[in-house]
Amino acid sequence: MAVTSLWHVKGSIKDVIDYIENPEKTVPNREMQDFFDVFSYVRNPSKTNEGEYVSAFNCLKETALQQMILTKKQYQKTGGYIAWHGYQSFKPDEATPEQCHEIGLKLARELWGDQYQIIVATHLDKGHLHNHFCFNSVSYLDGSKYNYSKSEQKRLREVSDRLCLEYGLSVIDKPKKAPSRPLYLDEKSGKPTRYNVYREDLREAINGSRDLQHMMKYLADKGYEIDFSGSHWKMKLPQYKHFTRLDTLDERLTPDFIQSCLGGASRYGNYKARISYSPHMPEQYKNAWKPHQKTTGILALYYYWCYQLGIFPKGTDYKLTSPLMKEELRKLDEITAQVRYMSKQGISTLSDLYADREKNQTEMNKLIVYRQHLRNKVRRATPAEKEKLREEKQGVTEQITELRKRLKYADGIEKRSAHIDDCLDQIHDMIERQCSNRQKQPVKTDRRREELLR
């Protein structure tokens, strides 16, 4: 059984050239790290049995990156995606290193070998054998760029399965759509992703409901939209466009299995869904947000949101009850960085944010014009002057990079403040709906208590 995936590598030609010239001092972005790792195995082959399991098509493996750059320059296609990077991962203890590498070579030759420069590296350092494929995004034959479409995705899977069967290896009979790579990594690290939140609330709904109607009501009161028609039941939170099938969360979650497990913890009656606000909210922030109104005091709004998420105060025993808020904890690092930026820059309101953004944009535009002026001067300067001008230009570039980072913060804060308003409005409406439903329900009298009172 082999699992395949392919994704593009973003970056710049300069990043690749820097890596070629001095790989020890190159600090690539996260997306390029794995890409560069494949080429580092050519220099440090301890993970590939002294280089035995590193091969190349249409280039030399020792100079593959240099040849890819020459191809891009030849066809004047140095922009866009740098390359494509994929893997083919095998079931533990099913294939030998030789079989794994042979299958990888045949797969690469059949799919991309007639047009692109490719490196194939088989890694032996994990619990499962796997091949890495790195190939140029530009064809060395005609300069055409590779396009990874749905048909190509299907072709990659089909060729991999066919080769596995030829070598007597198993294949996945009913493949399911895999989550996106960022979502997969977050799930692996235990962050509260959408799927984790769905599973938790679904488990509560099944265990706390004695029949299907109460289970559906429990999920609806939590804020979910549900579709229990047909053979595949589905659910979603309102901010998402598409439903998620329950058997995608866990293959056991079929309609029959769910109905057989209802009421596992509801011995004396059905549990009721509960949405609540944090009890630790300080007085100064209690009025920071008002239902269905745009909040202008964004720093106070952020602090309000941090209390509702249980980030503040530290060590609190407050437990989130809304799935909308639970998933927001996945973005904790981003929220924290935005709060720090606002505190450092003295931003309290949307007006402060707009002023800060306008100031940074104006300053950056001036620096971009000045950097272009320096570039023009470099062309006409003497060799001694060029070195000095380049150092100055590098300093200007660093200032521009910092200003771009600040502008990105400002855009993110504006979008998130509107998002927080929307989330809080939805939570408020859910609480109002729950309170309204409880008031409408008839009060049930305990018969035994009545008998004792007579």
Q: Is the peptide bond before 92 cis (omega within 30 degrees of 0)?
A: no
**For residue 218, which of 240, 203, 197 has the smallest C-alpha distance?**
203
**For residue 326, which of 178, 200, 179 has the smallest C-alpha distance?**
200
* Measured distance CA(195)–CA(184) in Å, rounded: 10
- Helices 30-43 and 13-21 pack at an angle, to 10 degrees, of 30
Residues 77 and 144 in one domain: yes
Amino acid code (one letter) for 146: Y
Tens digit of each residue's pLDDT (9 = 90 or more) over 4-32 = 888 888 877 767 766 666 666 565 665 56
Non-local (6+) Cβ contacts of 431 within 8 A are 275, 276, 277
Q: Give domain status of residue 176, yes or no.
A: no
Query: Domain range for residue 239?
Result: 189-261
- Whole-number pLDDT of residue 443: 52
CB 233 within 8 A of CB 245: yes
Residues 159 and 232 in one domain: no
Residues 376 and 420 in one domain: yes
Q: What are phi and psi of 326, to 5 degrees?
A: -55, -45
- Whole-number pLDDT of residue 116: 96
Residues 130 and 24 in one domain: yes
- Whole-number pLDDT of residue 317: 86
Q: Give domain status of residue 48, yes or no.
A: yes
**For residue 323, which of 224, 234, 235 has the smallest C-alpha distance?**
224
User: Three-state DSSP class for 85?
Assistant: strand
232 by Cβ neighbours in 10 Å (0-12 / 13-18 / 19+) ranks as middle
* Measured distance CA(409)–CA(356) in Å, rounded: 11
CB 223 within 8 A of CB 430: yes
Residues 67 and 195 in one domain: no
User: Three-state DSSP class for 109?
Assistant: helix
Residues 226 and 354 in one domain: no
Low-confidence ranges of the chain (pLDDT < 50): 445-454
Residues 430 and 353 in one domain: yes
Q: Give domain status of residue 44, yes or no.
A: yes
Residues 305 and 360 in one domain: yes
How many Cβ atoms are within 10 Å of 64's Cβ, its own excluded? 23
431 by Cβ neighbours in 10 Å (0-12 / 13-18 / 19+) ranks as middle
- Whole-number pLDDT of residue 451: 46
Q: Whose structure tokens read 């440090």?
A: 44
The total domain count for the chain is 3
Residues 287 and 151 in one domain: no
Tens digit of each residue's pLDDT (9 = 90 or more) over 322-351 = 999 998 998 999 999 999 999 999 999 999
Final residue of a structural domain among 108, 135, 166: 166
Residues 223 and 294 in one domain: no
* Measured distance CA(264)–CA(257) in Å, rounded: 12
Q: Give domain status of residue 179, yes or no.
A: no
Q: Whose structure tokens read 């004695």?
A: 210
Q: Give domain status of residue 19, yes or no.
A: yes
- Whole-number pLDDT of residue 268: 80
Q: Give domain status of residue 446, yes or no.
A: no
